[in-house]
Chain A
């Protein structure tokens, strides 16, 4: 299943619904560009909904970190929503679970942003 991403604006926040694979040469470059574009438009509160992401490799993990840094550098915040077990496990063994804010409820994720 190839990578797809759609963005929904909810108030000051943008939820990006991602699906498919985030891997080298597939979803990772597209995700990077989409996050840069959102930040360029002044969107600083971003939620990545990973509920339909079927697979992520080290390049995909790198893009999540890159997105986190891009948004943070602009003064914003990036949160993760609906991790699958595989993505959850990958973030745990790479210790990134302690870096990202992770949520299982979209409304809670949206309410967590501080301006």
Chain B
């Protein structure tokens, strides 16, 4: 392990295609970091859901707004940020999709999946407005565990 932090930042247009692009970039970074297939799937799905959230609810599908995806390989974990240019929101205001009254709703599960699939998850106000989703996945422990890309 090099002890350094490696960082990739991508600015995406508010387009449906950006969802697949963000997932693809993330899967490549997670692969380079040594995460196994199951963990890559979970990390990729979380970023997909994060960018969908930014596309639909944050930027409200307005193409001229941007989505900034940042991937940081720190010595301990992969840290991912998804920043939008929307009105921002608080996690406490988001309905629980597991509540009986919400089980048959057709949306509202994306944030829940990110929380379920990642080791850490938070929603912060963006530095210049909007919402910033911050999530992290620790590298597997032990021999053969993931290592940040050199």
Picked from B48, B52, B104, the residue with its CB within 8 Å of the CB of A69 is B104
**Mask: chain B, 42-64; 1 = CB below 8 Å from A; 0 = not:** 00010011001000000000000
**Mask: chain A, 42-76; 1 = CB below 8 Å from B; 0 = not:** 00000000000000011101110110110000000
- A58 and B107 form a contact (CB under 8 A): yes
- B49 and A62 form a contact (CB under 8 A): no
Picked from B16, B49, B98, B106, the residue with its CB within 8 Å of the CB of A57 is B49
Give A8 Cβ to nearest chain B Cβ, in Å: 26
Chain A contact residues (Cβ within 8 angstroms of B): what range? 20 to 34
Q: Which residues of A contact B (CB under 8 A)?
A: 23-25, 57-59, 61-63, 65-66, 68-69, 86, 90, 93-96, 99
**Mask: chain B, 89-113; 1 = CB below 8 Å from A; 0 = not:** 0000000011000011111011011
Give A71 Cβ to nearest chain B Cβ, in Å: 13
- B16 and A25 form a contact (CB under 8 A): yes
Report chain B residues within 8 Å CB of A24: 16, 19, 52
Extra A-B contacts (17), CB below 8 Å, given A24-B16, A61-B109, A94-B98: A23-B48, A25-B19, A57-B45, A57-B48, A57-B49, A57-B52, A58-B49, A58-B52, A58-B113, A59-B52, A59-B107, A65-B104, A66-B106, A69-B106, A93-B116, A94-B112, A95-B103
A62 and B104 in contact, given A24-B16, A25-B19 (Cβ under 8 angstroms): no
- C-alpha spacing A3/B52, complex, angstroms: 19
- C-alpha spacing A99/B105, complex, angstroms: 12
A-B contact pairs, 29 of them (CB 8 A): A23-B19, A24-B19, A24-B52, A25-B16, A25-B19, A57-B45, A57-B48, A57-B49, A57-B110, A58-B110, A58-B113, A59-B52, A59-B107, A62-B105, A62-B109, A63-B106, A65-B104, A65-B106, A66-B106, A69-B106, A86-B41, A93-B113, A93-B116, A94-B98, A94-B109, A94-B113, A96-B103, A99-B103, A99-B104
Report chain A residues within 8 Å CB of B107: 58-59, 62
Give B109 Cβ to nearest chain A Cβ, in Å: 4
- C-alpha spacing A66/B108, complex, angstroms: 13
- C-alpha spacing A93/B112, complex, angstroms: 9
- C-alpha spacing A64/B107, complex, angstroms: 11
- C-alpha spacing A84/B107, complex, angstroms: 22
